[in-house]
Structures are given as structure tokens and as C-alpha cells.
Amino acid sequence: MTAKIISGREVAENILQDLKKRVDILKKKNITPKLVVVLVGDMKASASYVAQKEKFAVKAGIDSEVLRFNSEISESEILNQIDEINKDDEIHGVIVQLPLPDHISVTKVLNRIDPKKDVDGFTPTNVGKLFLGEETLVSCTPKGIMSMLESTGTDLNGKNVTVIGRSNIVGKPVSILCQQQNATVTMCHSRTKDLNAKLADADVVIVAVGVAKFINGDQIPSGAIVIDVGIHNIDGKLCGDVDFETASEKASAITPVPGGVGPMTVCALIENTIIAAERI
């Protein structure tokens, strides 16, 4: 079997058409959705992610602003900045690009963001609402993954989903979203014993473990859908948490790296900003 490629770029482009219409409706009411990105330090990967977010914001017709700070900024200065953003009625969404320098507490910073403007869906309030199945701003990578699965026409009802990786940003929330659609979810991670047995009856495999080519084709059941969340630069070549060459021989559909989950995360962030603006 040779897998169909699930192009995140194409799915995001399709969603963009709907987002533009929603932005037009808001603009007729004199509301232009605005996203603020707080970027601390000069990490190359973070700068590249933020540039992609700005580019997609322009395409969707929303405003965006990047507040850049050097890595010596104190925790209290960042917290003060967030207070200012929370008070500013022109700003509908804010994200703090992670990681942050070690002297700044991620927990304190995220807790300070107004949940209504938390377009990353990282605040305890929004995570709690997701857990309880209440309407909320859903974090971007899990939301993007669900849109990609939807684009394949897959009905998760009764399906087996194996998630590898238990992060707060991807593994935990995506497992909840799959359960909301009546999937049976098996949660695995880097220390799971006999991972192959946990993968054997998976209809969908979501890999977000942060290790290059952690999963290969031998471990993928024939015909499964594979979602690869990882991105790694190995000797100048990008790859994911899944060995694409071998996995694409077994899967029925698979996301590429790059051009898979990455563009969907960005698209979900812009959609969340529009949702935040629609709710005011």
C-alpha cells in the first residue's frame, strides 16, 4: 500500500477561504481581529514559527503584532506586558511563544493570560473546559490534527487511536478530542512497554514524542492513518517522529514533514483569534 499524503498546506488553504469570510463579516461590524505574539530571546526555530504565524494572519486579513524582548527580560516585566495586553480592547488574542528562558516561569506567564484571549488554549481555565467538554479555545496543534483527520473523511466513532506522547500541548489534549468523537484512545509515551502491541490494532496513529524517526513502518498496522507531529533537522534535512519512507508503505494516509501538521497549527491559531473576536 502506498499512502495518500495528507497535505496540511492544502487543508489550511481550504480553511483559510472560510476564515476570510468570517473576517469580512467582523470588519463590517468595525472589528478587525488582532493577534499579539510575545517572543522572548532569539531562538531560530521560534522566530521561524512566529514568521509563519504573521504570514497566515496577513492572508486571513487579520492584524498581528510581534512584541520582541531580549532573553534578559525579567519575569515581572513579561507579566506586566501581559496585563497591558489583557486590558487592551483592540487585542483579541495573545500567545507567548515557547520555550521561555529558564528564569521565567511558564506556568506563571500562562496563568496570567486572560482565558478569553488565550488563543493557544494553554491556560488552566481553557484546558479545564476542554477536559469537561465545554466550549473553549482549543489548543492549536490538536485542533489542527482533528481538522486533518476530518479532511480524510474519517469517522472516529468506535475507532482505535494510539497517541504516542503525553505533552500538555499535543498528546493529552488530542486524546481528549478523539474521545469526544467516540474513539477508543490508547496513550503511549517514550517509556511504554511493548509499544508494538499498543499499535497493533490502531486505526489512527498520532505521534508527538519529540524523537526523530521514533516510529517506523514495521510498527504501523496496514491501512492506518498516521499523523506525524514531530519536526527535526537531521544533517540539514527535515524529518518527523515517524520514518516517512517506511511508514508510507504501510499507512493508508500519512502527514508529511514539512507541510503536514505545522501549517495546520498556524491555521488553528488564526481561527482561534477570529473566534475570540467573534465572541466579544
Binding mask 221-260 for ligand GUN (x = CB under 6 A): ----------------------------------------
Which of 18-26, 92-100, 177-185, 203-211 is the region at the interface with ligand GUN (rule: CB under 6 A)? 92-100
Return the residue nearest ligand GUN (CB atom).
98
Which of 6-14, 94-102, 130-138, 243-251 is the region at the interface with ligand GUN (rule: CB under 6 A)? 94-102
- The count of residues interacting with ligand GUN (CB under 6 A) is 9
Q: Is there binding between residue 95 and ligand GUN (CB under 6 A)?
A: yes
* Complex with ligand GUN: residue 45 or 58, whichever CB lies closer: 45
* Complex with ligand GUN: residue 98 or 212, whichever CB lies closer: 98
Q: Which cell goes with 126?
A: 481553557
Q: What is the C-alpha separation between 117 and 7, in angstroms, rounded?
A: 29
Binding mask 150-189 for ligand GUN (x = CB under 6 A): -------------------x--------------------
DSSP annotation string for 218-231 = GGSPTT-EEEE---
Q: Is there binding between residue 97 and ligand GUN (CB under 6 A)?
A: yes
Reduced DSSP (H G I as helix, E B as strand, rest coil) percent helix, strand, coil of the chain, to 5: 45, 20, 40
Name the nearest CA neighbour of 29 among 224, 279, 255: 279
Q: What is the C-alpha separation between 195 and 206, in angstroms, rounded?
A: 13
> Which run of H or E residues covers position 95?
strand 93-96
**Contact residue for ligand GUN among 120, 241, 243, 271 (CB under 6 A):** 120
With both helix axes pointing from N to C terminus, report the angle between 44-60 and 261-278 in degrees, rounded to the nearest 10.
50
> Catalytic annotation on 213?
no
- Within 8 A by CB and 6+ apart from 9, the residues are 259, 263
Q: Is there binding between residue 140 and ligand GUN (CB under 6 A)?
A: yes
Strand partners, 253: 4, 225
Q: What is the C-alpha separation between 146 and 182, in angstroms, rounded?
A: 13
Chain residues 8-47 in contact with ligand GUN, contact rule CB under 6 A:
none
Q: How far is CA 209 from CA 7, 111, 125, in A?
A: 21, 25, 25
* Complex with ligand GUN: residue 98 or 176, whichever CB lies closer: 98
Strand partners, 237: 234
Amino acid, res. 69: F
> Catalytic annotation on 120?
yes
> Catalytic annotation on 219?
no
Q: Is 16 in contact with 60 (CB distance < 8 Å)?
A: yes
**Contact residue for ligand GUN among 98, 176, 212, 238 (CB under 6 A):** 98
- In the complex, minimum distance from the CB of residue 4 to ligand GUN, in angstroms, rounded to a whole number: 26
- In the complex, minimum distance from the CB of residue 155 to ligand GUN, in angstroms, rounded to a whole number: 27
What are the residues binding ligand GUN (CB under 6 A)?
95-98, 120, 140-141, 169, 265
Residues with a catalytic annotation lie at 53, 97, 120
